[in-house]
Amino acid sequence: MSDFVIAPVATPSLAVEGTSSRFPIRRVFCVGRNYSDHAREMGHDPEREPPFFFMKPADAVVAAEGNITYPTLTEDLHHEIELVVAIGKDGVDIQPEDALSHVWGYAVGADLTRRDIQAQAKKMGRPWDWAKGFDESGPSTPLVPVSKVGHPAEGAIWLKVNGVERQRGDLADQIWPVKDVIAYISQSVKLKAGDLIFTGTPAGVGALQVGDVVTGGIDGLSEFTFTVA
């Protein structure tokens, strides 16, 4: 076996709640416009069309605590609160009725977005990578195993900035629930243990400024607090 020509990078990972263990992150899939009120907010028809996806680098996922750096190249950084799904078992062409057996656990994350860059990319018909895949763009709580939390299918999902509520929805309002999202992704690629899925955000997305304190959570699952630094 050949030696690496440079030192291999560390495997990105998320903490597991209540333990010293960590969950290794392989890939990060994100679902676009998965709540009807957010679809309308972004100027789109919320009918149940096939879902679409974008991705973040694995190391964009960081702990949703302490300071999160305001990124370069933007003057319009937005928050999007989301349920995060951790895949614990490989699968391809997974049927919806079997999909939840592939879930290892759940967390609460924020899909941070350079909205001005995204708007320009949309206008020019270009990819969203620079808008979604920057450093620290996926702060997340520690993962909670399915054995402790089950499979959250309903419950309030909310986000506040400096104590003022901006986003509130319910997991039951997802256009594509977790089992359907997993099944749909697995038609295109082989899902593997270590993959994460950010499952979309309710309405109320908005801008963040340096110094803002961001709190968010999903009732019965987890909450986070971080400061935009």
Q: Per-residue pLDDT for 142 more than 80? A: yes
What pLDDT is attached to residue 36? 73
| Domain assignment present for 1 | no
**Which residues constitute the domain of residue 29?**
13-228
C-alpha 133/C-alpha 57 separation (Å) is 6
Share of the chain above pLDDT 70, in %: 94
User: 0.85 cut: is pTM over it?
Assistant: yes
Is it the case that residue 39 has pLDDT exceeding 90? no
Q: Is residue 3 domain-resident?
A: no
- β-sheet bridge partners, residue 220: none
Residue carrying structure tokens 């149940």: 48
Residue 59 lies in a domain: yes
Cα distance between residue 105 and residue 193, in whole Å: 11
> How far is C-alpha 52 from the chain's CA centre?
14
**pLDDT at site 146:** 98
Residue 4 forms part of a structural domain: no
Q: What is the largest CA-CA distance in the chain?
A: 56
Look up the CATH number of the domain holding residue 130.
3.90.850.10
Question: Would residue 56 count as lying in a domain?
Answer: yes
Strands 28-31 and 196-198: parallel
What's the mean pLDDT when you consider all of the chain? 94
Nearest to 83 by CA among 114, 108, 47, 58: 108
**Has residue 2 been placed in a domain?**
no
> What percent of the chain stands above pLDDT 90?
90
Residue 106: strand pairing partners:
85, 144
Q: Tens digits of per-residue pLDDT, 174-211?
A: 999 999 999 999 999 999 999 999 999 999 999 999 99
Overall domain count for the chain:
1
Q: Is residue 6 one of the residues assigned to a domain?
A: no
Q: How far is CA 144 from CA 16, 21, 81, 153, 191, in A?
A: 6, 11, 17, 15, 20
Per-residue pLDDT, 208: 98
Model pLDDT for residues 146-179, shown as the tens digit of each residue: 999 999 999 999 999 999 999 999 999 999 999 9
Q: Residue 48: its pLDDT value, please?
A: 65
